[in-house]
Structure 1
Amino acid sequence: MLRSIFNNMLLKMQKRYDYDVRYQQDILKSGLGPFLKFMGFQSMASHAGSLPVDVLYAARIRAIIWDDCGPCTQLVVNMALEAKVEEDIVKALVDRNFNRLPEHLALVVRFTELVMAHNPEADDLREEIRSRWGESGLVSIAFAISSYRVYPALKYALGYGKACSRVMINNAAIAPGRG
């Protein structure tokens, strides 16, 4: 009964975002325990706190691009657009165009990439983020960075990794920019 309910939830997500949920279905097939742990992880990944939506998606998009250049990135882009992040901002985040990003989003992109690279230069930017959005904002950004890396790793480990592909933003195809 629970498996059926969870599977229906996954199928709704698949339809809503045109996203392959087979890896999640495999987790569910392996047992309710592992699936419930995966769902528990989802609460961390979906945490936004009081961050503005564009700031949150700046961290999410750049974190997912670090480890994925295909369906996971497309899913996060679609979610950003659904959350009303401006299309031009999403494009600039995907192709890493600092000239088209407001200063606060460029800060988040730089911070995200320095954290992903384990670069100690992130320390200075961390303080700037903390001063702009407080400790809770820093935690929200940290959750976005760390949790959005899990999805590509999980998919690749389960055999669902995909080759790189262009990301569609409405009618425009963009190759994700790498730092």
Structure 2
Amino acid sequence: MHLGLAIIIFLLSFIVFFIFIVKSEKKENHDYNEKYLLSSVVASAVLSLISTAIIMFFVFIFTGAAAFINSLFSLDIDKNQLGTLVIATAVYMFTADHLFTAVIKYITESASMRLVFLFALRFIFIFIVCLFLSISSVKASIISLCLAVFLLLVEIIYHSRKSDEKN
């Protein structure tokens, strides 16, 4: 399942990077021809590998956290359901979560309030996905709470290291 996801991420990012690079080269070089095609393909492949590696790193970490929570609390959630939950959450984290973060930053200046709002939104999202996957509400509550806390801790660690680097 993860290999298929990695291939899909690589292909999508390759297409996006390739189109972006070719359009940029055509704007700069009006005589863009096939000799630039190989360099565009290589650059797109390298950038796609890097972005795929970063995304899959987070997917693997989140999969491990979800599997650990599943076994720790004996939730007996099916691996397919867990995989779908992880993929849905990864898509949310790389898309809508950034939008919500920007809106929350605009609404409140308090970093702790931002974390509380993001925690609540992530909990709600994971809980809704669990319900769509026919996971019982008790199990959905447990895994949603634990995964939202996990994401909260990751964000707190990230921000504390970021502030340590500034000082």
TM-score, normalisation: structure 1: 0.27
TM-score, normalisation: structure 2: 0.29
Of structures 1 and 2, the one with the larger relative CO (CA 8 A, separation 6+) is: 1
Q: Which has the higher helix share?
A: 2
